[in-house]
């Protein structure tokens, strides 16, 4: 006998309570502020500003679209979003950044179709001076619990778990910190992101982690506090004393994080 | 005979081509598959997002393992065809492959972002972008 589930709810709390009973294996039973559904997706799609996106998207409070969870689950197609951007602006140069970001998702999906084994394996060797075996297998609790003592890392880690969404720069900072500062395998971080991000997609997520790790790029991605300051939102604690391990020049960081690679290059 | 459309988590849209492909006389199904969700390790937030989306769609939601539910519905509906929105997801593809032993599984591709006429070197985005760029700026990808 098949069990048919309820589809009509008078409000979101009722739906959440119903799902809580259907999910006994999960501890945290809170919903994200991001609402699912085609109606919500289409309302956001109307609001996109593809020109503004190109100018401010790198800023944590910049003009991003928040469409990614809807694209991830097929609620919106890349085609539809692109067509909407073209309808809003016919000057291709002004919307190049926006269209290119959609193209990145298309690129990742094509890889997923053609080379699914790339998703969890190192595609290339690390270019950090270390071997894969030098990296730890699992994500330490202080990161998962947003308790590293590094303000901006804890800011994004906590946002990930509490909302299911982080700005792209926050994702890059977290990934870089986990892989290069803590020397943890990218797979451990990628699993954590996939668990919590509403837009978590094995291709976009894991291949981006590999890009940061340098197993799918020519060099590791690192950042420093100066870079964070440039793009930070006002609610972030970007003081040097709260972010000590990040407060250095790229030259200093390269020596600290990749001592073998630097000496190889000398 | 009522055929089946399996609306899985990668294709949660009422305008998906799978509906046109099935034409008429079909039942659309989403499956609350605890084993699959546990395998994916999704947070509760993710599940709420997915479920909220499914509630708006013209489909029935059944609880159980996808293979079992779809096999059982196929039997009771006397279905011949399962329409399956194309996905790269290996876990979903495997279930569809197992169902293809007893059902005709029709894989329905999604609308493309761009149609490429050259073979792709997937090592770097740059290679892709060189080929895709022109069509990426055209309505419907120039299709």
For chain A, domain boundaries: 33-114, 132-265
Mean pLDDT, rounded, of chain B: 95
The verdict on B127 and B63 lying in the same domain is no
A37 Cα to chain B: minimum distance (Å): 4
The verdict on B97 and B129 lying in the same domain is no
A66 contacts chain B (CB < 8 A):
no
Query: What is the pTM (predicted TM-score) of this model?
Result: 0.95
Count CB neighbours of B72 within 10 A: 14
The verdict on B47 and B79 lying in the same domain is yes
Radius of gyration of chain A (CA): 20
CA distance linking residue A145 with residue A134, whole number of Å: 24
Tell me the torsion sign for CA atoms B96, B98, B102, B104. Answer: positive
- Total beta-carbon pairs less than 8 A apart between chain A and chain B: 173
Check whether A252 has a pLDDT greater than 50: yes
**Confidence tier at A266 by pLDDT (50, 70, 90):** very low
The β-bridge partners of B5 are B28, B83
B97 contacts chain A (CB < 8 A):
no
Structure tokens at A22: 């259907």
The verdict on B104 and B123 lying in the same domain is no
pLDDT tens for residues A6-43? Answer: 999 999 999 999 999 999 999 999 999 999 999 999 99
Structure tokens at B138: 């055209």
B118 contacts chain A (CB < 8 A):
no
A230's torsion region: left (phi>0), alpha (psi -120 to 50) or beta?
alpha
B35 contacts chain A (CB < 8 A):
no
CA distance linking residue B34 with residue B47, whole number of Å: 10
The verdict on B70 and B40 lying in the same domain is yes
The verdict on B51 and B79 lying in the same domain is yes
Range of the domain at B127: 113-143
The verdict on B41 and B89 lying in the same domain is yes
**Confidence tier at A263 by pLDDT (50, 70, 90):** low
Q: Which helix (H) or strand (E) holds A33?
A: none
pLDDT for the residue B115: 92
Q: Pick from B91, B32, B94: which is nearest to A202 by CA?
A: B91
Please answer yes or no on whether B55 and A25 come within 8 Å at the CB atom. no
Please answer yes or no on whether A73 and B12 come within 8 Å at the CB atom. yes
Please answer yes or no on whether A103 and B129 come within 8 Å at the CB atom. yes
Strand runs labelled E in B7-127: 26-32, 60-63, 81-85, 104-108
Residue in A with minimal Cα distance to B123: A216
A188 contacts chain B (CB < 8 A):
no
Say which residue, A193 or B119, is predicted with more confidence. A193
The verdict on B117 and B102 lying in the same domain is no
pLDDT for the residue A225: 98
CA distance linking residue A16 with residue B45, whole number of Å: 9
B95's torsion region: left (phi>0), alpha (psi -120 to 50) or beta?
alpha
CA distance linking residue A193 with residue A174, whole number of Å: 10
pLDDT for the residue B97: 98
Q: Pick from B119, B110, B30, B117: which is nearest to A105 by CA?
A: B110
pLDDT for the residue A262: 61
Please answer yes or no on whether B42 and A34 come within 8 Å at the CB atom. no
Number of domains in chain B: 2
The verdict on B123 and B103 lying in the same domain is no
Residue B20's domain is classified under what CATH number?
3.40.50.620
The domain made up of A132-265 has a fold known as: DNA Cyclobutane Dipyrimidine Photolyase, subunit A; domain 3 (1.10.579)
Please answer yes or no on whether A110 and B128 come within 8 Å at the CB atom. yes
Average confidence (pLDDT) over B50-77: 98
**Confidence tier at A264 by pLDDT (50, 70, 90):** low
Check whether A95 has a pLDDT greater than 60: yes
Taking domain A33-114, whether its CATH number is 1.10.260.40 is answered by no
The verdict on B95 and B130 lying in the same domain is no
Average confidence (pLDDT) over A135-141: 98
The verdict on B101 and B121 lying in the same domain is no
The verdict on B14 and B60 lying in the same domain is yes
**pLDDT > 90 fraction of chain A, expressed in percent and rounded:** 92
B41's torsion region: left (phi>0), alpha (psi -120 to 50) or beta?
left
CA distance linking residue B135 with residue A49, whole number of Å: 21
Residue in B with minimal Cα distance to A162: B45
Of B12, B45, B132, the CB nearest to A74: B12
Average confidence (pLDDT) over A105-109: 96
Contacts of residue A30, Cβ cutoff 8 Å, sequence gap at least 6: A16, B44, B45
B109 contacts chain A (CB < 8 A):
no
Residue pointed to by tokens 């290069």:
A180
Residue pointed to by tokens 């990161």:
A143
Count CB neighbours of A11 within 10 A: 8
Check whether A265 has a pLDDT greater than 90: no
Please answer yes or no on whether A200 and B46 come within 8 Å at the CB atom. yes
pLDDT for the residue A126: 98
Measured CA distances, B82 to A40, A53, A251, B7, B69 (Å):
29, 41, 58, 10, 12
Please answer yes or no on whether B53 and A16 come within 8 Å at the CB atom. no
């Amino acid at each position: 006998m098949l069990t048919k589930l309820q589809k009509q709810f008078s409000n979101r709390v009722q739906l959440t309570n119903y799902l809580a009973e259907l999910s006994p294996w999960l501890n945290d039973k809170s919903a994200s502020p991001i609402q699912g559904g085609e109606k919500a997706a289409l309302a956001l799609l109307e609001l996109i500003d593809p020109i503004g996106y190109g100018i401010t998207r790198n800023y944590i409070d910049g003009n991003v679209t928040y469409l990614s969870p809807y694209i991830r689950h097929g609620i919106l197609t890349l085609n539809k979003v692109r067509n909407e951007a073209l309808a809003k602006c016919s000057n291709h140069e002004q919307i190049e950044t926006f269209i290119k970001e959609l193209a990145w998702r298309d690129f990742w999906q094509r890889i997923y179709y053609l080379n699914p084994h790339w998703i969890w394996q190192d595609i290339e060797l690390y270019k950090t001076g270390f071997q894969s075996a030098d990296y730890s297998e699992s994500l330490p609790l202080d990161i998962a619990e947003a308790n590293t003592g590094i303000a901006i890392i804890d800011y994004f880690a906590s946002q990930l778990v509490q909302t299911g969404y982080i700005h792209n720069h926050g994702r890059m900072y977290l990934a870089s910190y986990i892989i290069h500062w803590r020397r943890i395998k990218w797979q451990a971080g990628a699993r954590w992101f996939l668990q919590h991000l509403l837009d978590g997609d094995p291709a976009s997520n894991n291949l981006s982690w590999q890009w940061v790790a340098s197993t799918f790029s020519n060099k590791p991605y690192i950042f420093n506090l100066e870079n964070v300051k440039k793009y930070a939102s006002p609610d972030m604690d970007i003081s040097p004393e709260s972010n000590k391990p990040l407060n250095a020049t790229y030259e200093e960081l390269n020596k600290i994080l990749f001592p073998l690679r630097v000496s190889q290059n000398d | 005979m009522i055929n089946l459309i399996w609306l899985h988590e990668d294709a949660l849209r009422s305008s998906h081509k799978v509906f046109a492909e099935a034409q008429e006389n079909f039942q659309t199904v989403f499956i609350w598959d605890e084993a699959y969700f546990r395998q994916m390790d999704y947070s509760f937030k993710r599940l709420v997002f997915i479920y909220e989306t499914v509630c708006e769609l013209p489909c029935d939601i059944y609880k159980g393992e996808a293979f079992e539910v779809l096999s059982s519905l196929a039997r009771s509906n006397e279905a011949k065809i399962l329409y399956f929105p194309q996905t790269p997801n290996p876990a979903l593809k495997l279930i569809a492959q197992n169902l293809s032993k007893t059902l005709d599984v029709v894989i329905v591709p999604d609308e493309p972002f761009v149609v490429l006429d050259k073979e792709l070197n997937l090592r770097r985005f740059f290679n892709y972008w060189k080929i895709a760029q022109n069509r990426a700026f055209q309505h419907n990808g120039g299709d």
